[in-house]
Amino acid sequence: MDLRSIGSLRVSVVGLGCNNFGMRIDDDATARVVSAALDAGINFFDTADIYGATKSEEFLGRALKGRRQQAIVATKFGMAVDDRRKGARPEYVRAACDDSLKRLGTDYIDLYQLHQPDPSVPIAETLGALNDLVKAGKVKEIGCSNFSTEQLDEAARATKAGAARFVSVQNEYSLVHREPEKSVLSACDRLGLAFLPYFPLASGLLTGKYDPATGAPKDSRLSLSWTSRFTNEKNVQIAEALKSFAAARNHTLLELAFSWLASRPRVASVIAGATSPEQIRANAAAVNWTLTRQDLAEIDRVST
């Protein structure tokens, strides 16, 4: 598995998103998925304190017991765990980190990410608290998620000389959601940030399993009510055209979705969820298609 850089971290180009843990799969199933990921060469695990109502961190921590040194663990804070635990105030940043460390059963977090901007708190204050965590050895690198170009620039200006800075941004990006191309990816170039795409498979639309005639497979993630925004008419048409493009070249839509993102220069790891070892193995193998310049031009024509 190819490794890429997020600051000082070296992560697998395919990562495992852990938001299914505690929501769609239980402790034992999580352990099987995590073990399969490590065996397949995936070392990057991305979770958050809110995933699975905090169970995701607990399940991931138990699944990594005895293999923690093989893993790069990323987690997030800032979205509401409950009415009291939320935001980016310095005192909460420190408490949230300690809570995550306890749930993960570890004494350090490799990549600690602000899950969303908190307009009520100056970013300099949040960065100061995160820098304290790095100096204390509780966190190795810091990142952010759901940030705009303007917010990335503001954070860069607010970072003190010699202090920890954001090394990554995690925003939605896929063949049917290309918003980061407008300015965030160029900001990553300018600021030296790694980019982590979430929803790379558009919550299942780009797996190739979606049938416009029958809808999402039963019990699939795409069948959940909140994922309906992915299956609008335009996205479905794009997915079908891309599926035909891939098939004509003896590849699957899944392979196209992963390999296209991996071809983006700033993308460090393509984070996708999984609920079974079989899905893990398919994801790990899906990133091996080297797309030509002509391929990329045709993909742009079909998907934009």
Active site residues: 51
Token reading at 211 = 């049938």
Cβ pair 62, 34 in contact under 8 A: no
Beta strands in 63-180 (DSSP E): 72-77, 109-114, 139-145, 166-172
Q: Which letter does DSSP use for residue 53 in this model?
A: G
Half-sphere CA count of 114, side-chain side, radius 13 A: 32
Q: Please state, in angstroms and rounded to a whole number, the distance separating the CA atoms of residues 223 and 272.
A: 17
Q: What contacts 289, CB < 8 A, 6 or more positions away?
A: 251, 255, 256, 258, 259
Token reading at 81 = 């765990």
Closest CA to 119 of 157, 156, 146: 146
Cβ pair 272, 33 in contact under 8 A: no
Closest CA to 29 of 284, 282, 278: 278
